[in-house]
Structures are given as structure tokens and as C-alpha cells.
Amino acid sequence: MMTTGRLRRLGYWALGTRLFAIALLSLPFAAPAHAIATTDAAAGLPQAQEDEAALDTHEVRRELDSFQAAQISLRQAMAIAEKLHAGSTTADISFDAAAETAVYRVKTVQHDRVWRHTIDATTGAVSGSEAASPLTSLDSEDRGNLVVLRALRHRLADAVQVAERATSGKAISGGLTRERGKLNFVIVVVAGSDLKQVILEPPGGRMR
């Protein structure tokens, strides 16, 4: 499953905020959203895990505060990264406040290469050096996901726009996942004090 490290971590963020799972199916990106799950991950945890959860919650709140203060949106960061290489499309993006300056970590795919970029969340400047790896260096599942992604009419940016509109929030991360043989977009949105995970199934996402 090609999703950002931040996106994988968000499964634990329900400890301090409510995490909703929202399904938006039967695209092209016009279906109404409906909540299919709400979790309270802190319920019934042993004391040691509750203490660790409290620390994680503090870090999450700090990161969310940093995200809310960012001048560059996730969609803008995607556009900046995609302009660096003609014909590239975003496969994975996440907000990262752990560095000295908050940034977006972006992975784009162009032909047979995967590019990794760091975009300053305040200025939109590309920081650090670019890193590229051949598509063949990925495992078969990630490689298959990217092959399908390149063939789709919809892009991750389209999914982010739909997710933000459906939740009245701001996307903090997005990536790809495979579900029952189909490629899905997975977007995590900050809406008020809640985190909402939106799964979108694009037409033509069936794995070959």
C-alpha cells in the first residue's frame, strides 16, 4: 500500500481527536459523503498505553496547530511539485512539522521515475535536493498502483478537492491504497477539531 508515513500514523490520532472514516464511492467524484465509522481509540487502553497516547496527542496537537498556520495548502504544494517535472502526477503527500520548518513531503511519478520533493509550507519554496528512483525499484504492489495511477483520468489533486468540499476541511495528507483489486485515493482532512479519512474510488482503478 503506497501511503505516506503520516497517513499510516493517523490511525492513532483518534486518541486526541475524533477520527472519521468517510466513503465516497461511485465516482466521477459526484457522490455524497456518508460517515461509515467513528472510533475512540483511547477507550480501554492499559495505563502505560494511555500515558503514551497522551504524549502522542500532545505531538499531534502541535502538528495540527502548525498545519493550521501554514501559508501553503496541500493542493498548492502538489501543484508546485508537479511543475518541477513535466507530465508528473502526485502519488503521495503529507504535512510534516517535525523539521525546523514545516514542510510537505511529496512523491510524484513521471514516466518510469518516482521523485521525492520537500516543499516549504510557509513559502512554497522547494527545499533540499531532489531524490529520484526508478519505478522498478518499488515492490510489485506499489509499482502496479503507480501504473494504474498514470492511466487514470482523475488525479490525487481531484480527490483532495472532493474530500475537502465534502468535509468542509483542509487536507493534511493523501496517498494510494488497494482495496479488493481496485486502486483508491485516501485523503485525511482536518475539519475543526476532527480528523476525517476519506476514501475515493476512481473510475478505471481496477488493477490488471
| Mean of pLDDT values over 7-32 | 41
pLDDT at 2 over 80: no
pTM: 0.75
Please state the φ and ψ torsions of residue 12, each to the nearest 5 degrees.
Answer: -100, -5
Q: How confident is the model at residue 132 (pLDDT cuts 50, 70, 90)?
A: confident
Q: In terms of pLDDT, which residue wins out, 119 or 181?
A: 119
SS3 54: helix
pLDDT at 3 over 60: no
pLDDT at 125 over 50: yes
pLDDT at 93 over 60: yes
Q: How far apart are CA 160 and CA 12, in angstroms?
A: 21
Output the 3-class SS for 116-166. EEEEECCCCCEEEEEEEEEHHHCCHHHHHHHHHHHHCCCCHHHHHHHHHHH
